[in-house]
Structure formats: C-alpha cells, structure tokens
Amino acid sequence: MLSLNNIEVVYDGVILVLKGVSVQVREGEITTILGANGAGKTTTLKAISGVLRSERGEVTKGSIEFGGKRIDGLRAFDVTRLGLVQVFEGRRVFEHLTTEENLIAGGHTQREPRRVRERIGMVYDYFPRLKERRDQQSGYLSGGEQQMLAIGRALMSDPKVVLLDEPSLGLAPMLVEEIFANVQKLVKEEKLTVLLVEQNATLALEIARHGYVMENGRIVLEGDAEKLRSNSDIKEFYLGLNEVGGRTSYRDVKHYRRRKRWLS
Amino acid sequence: MSSEDLGFLWALLVNGASIGLMYALIALGFVLVYKATDAINFAQGEFVMLASFAAALALGIGGMPVIAAVLLAVALMIGFSFGLERVVLRPLLGRPVVAVIMATIGLAAMLRGLPPITIGGETRALPLPVGDEPVRLGAASLPPIQVVGAIVAVLFFVAFTWFFKKSRMGVAMRAVADNQQVAMAMGINVERYFALAWAMAGIVSALGGVLWGSMLGVDVHVAVIGLKVFPVVILGGLDSIGGALVGGLIIGIVESLAAGYLDPYVGGGTKDFAPYLLMILVLMFRPYGIFGKRKIERV
C-alpha cells in the first residue's frame, strides 16, 4: 500500500536526518514506528505527507510509493488528495475555528457539500464528544478532545492511509486507551490503513500488526508486533521489563542503562 | 445642552460614522491580506489611489460609462494585486516580516510617484451619477456620495462575514490563517488562498478608490487614506473583519468630534492627531485590538 524505499532526508541542504529508511505499510493494518526522541520518526511521516518541504527538508535519495505511484516530490495538498493524510504531533487543531469548522476545513478535498455533511456525521459517530462541542472554539477543548478532533479532521478527506504522530502525547491513560480503541475500530470498520508513530511502545505494539524501531535516522529492528514484544532488547529499553519478565525498578536500570545501539 | 448643541453633536456623529465606514472598507483590504497571508501591506492607500486614477482616466479620457469605469478599476486592481503577490511577495515567503514590509513601503513610494511621471500631477474629477442633493438625517445632512459609500461598505462587510463564516472556501481561508502547514496537510492549496486574499483586497481597494476619489478628487493625496488604516486596524485587531468595521467607525467618529469640538480652540489639526493618539493608547492597553486574535493558552 505504502512503501518507503531506502529514503534519505536532508534539512537545509546539509543536515542528514534520515539515513536510508525502508518501511512497508500493508493495507488494512496498523504499522508502528517506535523510537526515542529525535530518532527521525516524525521526519519520516513528514517525508511521506509532503509537508517536509515547508520546513526546508527534502527527500534526496530513495523513493516513496503509495498505491503504486511515486509521491515523493509531490506537494502536501496533492498527497492528501490521493488519500494519504497526516495527523500531527501535538494535535495542532485550527484553534480559532470551532470544532465543526475544523472538520469542514479537513473536508476541503471533498467535491460535494453533501459528502462533507456525511463525513461530519461519521466523525461524530466515532467521537460523540465532538458533537457535544461542535460550536465551541477548538482552542479551548481539552487535550483529549483536541486529539479526537485532529483524527476526525483527518478522516474528513476520506483517506486510505492515515499517518498518526504520537496520539498519546500528554494525555491521561484512560483517554489514550479510548483513542486507541477508536483507531482500531476505524481500521476494522472503515478499512483504514494506519502508520502509527509512538513513544508508548506497550500500547503501540498491542494494536499494531507490524513494527519498526528507529534510532538515529535508521531502522534498527523490524518484525511482527508479536515478535517485537518478546524481543529482549525491546522489552528492556521500551517496555521496561527485564529478562525474567518482571518489571525493572528504575534503581536497577540507572546503573547500566545507556543508549543501546544496534548498529554503528 | 440645548437642542442646537444636540443637533451639532448628531451631525458630527453621522458625518464621522459615514467617513468611518469608508475607512473601514479600505482597512478591510489590509485585514484580508494580513489575516490570510500574515503580510503587512503598507501600500494599501496607494492601491486605493491607483484604482481611483484608473476610474478617473477611464471616465475622463476614455469616456466610458460609469459602470464600465468601475468594473475596469476592479479588474485592474484584481490583476494588480494578483501579480504583486506572484512576482514580489511569493519569493519573500518565509523571509523575515521586515522584508515584506519594506517591499510594500517601496512599492507605495513607487506608486505615488507614478501619476506625476506619467499623466501629470493635477487633480482630476471622478463624478459619479449620484446627484448633488444632500441627504438629510435629522439635523445632519450628508453629501449623497458619502451615503453611497456607507452603503457599499456595509454591503461588503455583510458579504465578507457571510463568506468567512458560512462558505467552505471562507472556512478554508481561516484555516490557512490559523496554521499554514496543517492547512496544507488537509489538502488546502495554501498559495491559491494567498492569491485569493490579495484578489479580494484588490476588489475592496478598487471600490474604495472609486468612492474616495469621487469625494476628494483624484490626485496623489487619495493615498493619504492609507495612513488612517493603521489606527483602524490596531483598534479593531489586525486580523478581525468585524474589528475593521468597529475600528473604522470609532476612528471616523473620534476624528469628527475632535474636528468639531477641539479645532476651534487649537486652530485645527486635531482631526489627524486624535486617531493616532487613540492608536497609541490601544497599543499600550490592548495590543491585540478590540476583536483581534488572542493567543489561546490553556492552563
């Protein structure tokens, strides 16, 4: 469905951020990219959605294909038109617009006004809380509601693939579970394909089918979510479990924990 | 207060409000551009001047009917602001704000120099067929052209308010104003909306130019109205359409009251002084204006 073939991303013409990243996203599945801060996860998503260019970044090598078509080099709004949309990290709702206006803006690519209404109805079905807040200025919604709105807004264009950037960021655990459950439901009922970037590895590996681990602009590990969950390195560094399977206390970790490098 | 005093006050208020609506209309051009593209257009007054020249020449030398002259001015201004965005401002995108400001100031100076170089500096008439009979409103009486101006301004405000609140394009434009990157990711062609904003500013300037030029007579002094734009938009909020309306009314009325009550004591000039005094006060106490966007912070 979506494949990144050995892409390199350079910012400002000199800073090499992604050093040959290959990722395959299969249709109707949730694929996840895990990794610490600054590993290049968000950059990967931006490279796919095309917003990289507005930040003076560029895909210099490799190719990105979506549904058999090369999309690297396309402008962001053209990528969205093809059915691939990004949900940004930190929500980024249109603060001064109401909830419903946010959704209308999200449905910009829809030709017919009737379709916009239909999609709004669908989003409200998945996130009833948004319906209660439809006329409220979205800047004043709670963090969880804003995240729901950001996802709902992305759904307005009727996308085939959604790139989700850290939907759990700064939200209470209960809300995170609610949102993740909704994402799973969307994948199942709307035949959505999701590429999920997360720091919360436990949750991400629970709902994903396939996973990648990124570090320093490279993919260092990949495999079925099942397998990654049982991988001892992952367990230790992302899930906080030790070899025996019990929880490691922070006291034990501190002494020897340093950044594990799989490569280089 | 005697009834005569009340009548005088009423006349000042009505006159101020009708001029204020003209200020508001011209400030609207500024606000539209700032709201959508974050560009500060210091040449707004010169846009107005250019339009008034176009209309006056089309009427005077071209001998066109009024409607055709007005339409010509509108078309010219749309084309002009469109081209300006393409040629001058788009390459400056992402550069420091000062670059755009300087570019528009330079443009303003060039535009003001244009008429004396090409067609001479004399004042030209731009007669509109609205009659000479003053329109009486109680104790106040207004020249008909001011009434027409006020009506046009109100119509424009109604139309733009509808556009931004109810139409999908308007909502998309506000989304662009809010966050360009996200808007782009939502499938909105941001550059096209920039161009649209400039085109709309062009239309507003054209209409403003025809009306204002008709009131004052057409020469480079028409551009001076650009100076009134700043107190209006600072008062109302740089990015608020309703703010431009209210700001325009306030500035128009303050000016008129100052001229009516203070000028006899100081010998004139308070009309130009008062709006800027007000502007500085607003900057000190409410820098985002009456209706301007406040940065939303959630605690």
- A259 pLDDT above the threshold of 70: no
Task: State pLDDT tens for residues B240-298.
Answer: 888 999 999 999 999 999 999 998 888 888 888 899 999 999 888 888 877 777 766 65
Q: Does A76 contact B180 at a Cβ distance shorter than 8 Å?
A: no
What average pLDDT score do residues B84-95 get? 85
Residues on B contacting A at a C-beta cutoff of 8 Å: 168, 171-172, 174-175, 177-190, 293, 296, 298
Whole-number pLDDT of residue A86: 95
Banded pLDDT at A255 (limits 50, 70, 90): very low
Query: Which residues from A are below 8 Å from B242, CB to CB?
Result: none
Query: Which residues from A are below 8 Å from B168, CB to CB?
Result: 104, 107-108, 113, 116
Q: Does B174 contact A101 at a Cβ distance shorter than 8 Å?
A: yes
Residue, of B11 and B292, whose pLDDT is higher? B11
Task: State pLDDT tens for residues A148-160.
Answer: 999 999 999 999 9
Work out the percent of chain A whose per-residue pLDDT is above 90.
Answer: 72
Could you give the domains of chain A?
A: 2-256 (3.40.50.300)
Task: State pLDDT tens for residues A208-230.
Answer: 999 999 989 999 999 999 998 88
Residue A98's DSSP bridge partners are A137
Tokens of B137: 């409103």
Could you give the domains of chain B?
A: 3-123+142-285 (1.10.3470)
User: Which member of A94, A109, A137 has the closest CB to residue B187?
Assistant: A109
Banded pLDDT at A262 (limits 50, 70, 90): low
Banded pLDDT at A257 (limits 50, 70, 90): very low
Query: Which residues from A are below 8 Å from B187, CB to CB?
Result: 77, 80-81, 85, 108-109, 157
Task: State pLDDT tens for residues A64-98.
Answer: 999 889 999 899 999 999 999 999 998 899 999 99
Q: Among all residues of chain B, which has the CA nearest to that of A138? A: B296
SS (H, E, C) chain A: CEEEEEEEEEECCCEEEEEEEEEEECCCCEEEEEECCCCCHHHHHHHHHCHHHHHCEEEEEEEEEECCEECCCCCHHHHHHCCEEEECCCCCCCCCCEHHHHHHHHCCCCCCHHHHHHHHHHHHHHCHHHHHCCCCEHHHCCHHHHHHHHHHHHHCCCCCEEEEECCCCCCCHHHHHHHHHHHHHHHHHCCCEEEEEECCHHHHHHHCCEEEEEECCEEEEEEEHHHHHHCHHHHHHHHCECCCCCECCHHHHHHHCCCCCCCC
Average pLDDT of chain B, as a whole number: 90
User: Which member of B171, B182, B296 has the closest CB to residue A92?
Assistant: B182
- A51 pLDDT above the threshold of 70: yes
User: Chain A: nearest CA to B17, how far in angstroms?
Assistant: 30
CB B201 within 8 A of CB B90: no
Rounded Cα–Cα distance for residues B173 and B183 (Å): 9
Q: Does A80 contact B181 at a Cβ distance shorter than 8 Å?
A: no
A30 sits in the region (left: phi over 0; alpha: psi -120 to 50; else beta) called beta
Whole-number pLDDT of residue A143: 92
Q: Does B189 contact A77 at a Cβ distance shorter than 8 Å?
A: yes
Q: Which of these, B177, B222, B261, lies nearest to B54 by C-alpha position?
A: B222
Whole-number pLDDT of residue A56: 85
What average pLDDT score do residues A120-131 get? 95
Whole-number pLDDT of residue A64: 95
Counting every residue written for chain A, the total comes to: 264
Query: Which residues from B are below 8 Å from A143, CB to CB?
Result: 298
Task: State pLDDT tens for residues A172-191.
Answer: 999 999 999 999 999 999 99
CB B198 within 8 A of CB B33: yes
Return the residue in B167, B171, B188, B297 with the most chain A beta carbons within 10 A, the one to mutate for interface testing. Answer: B171
CB B298 within 8 A of CB A140: yes
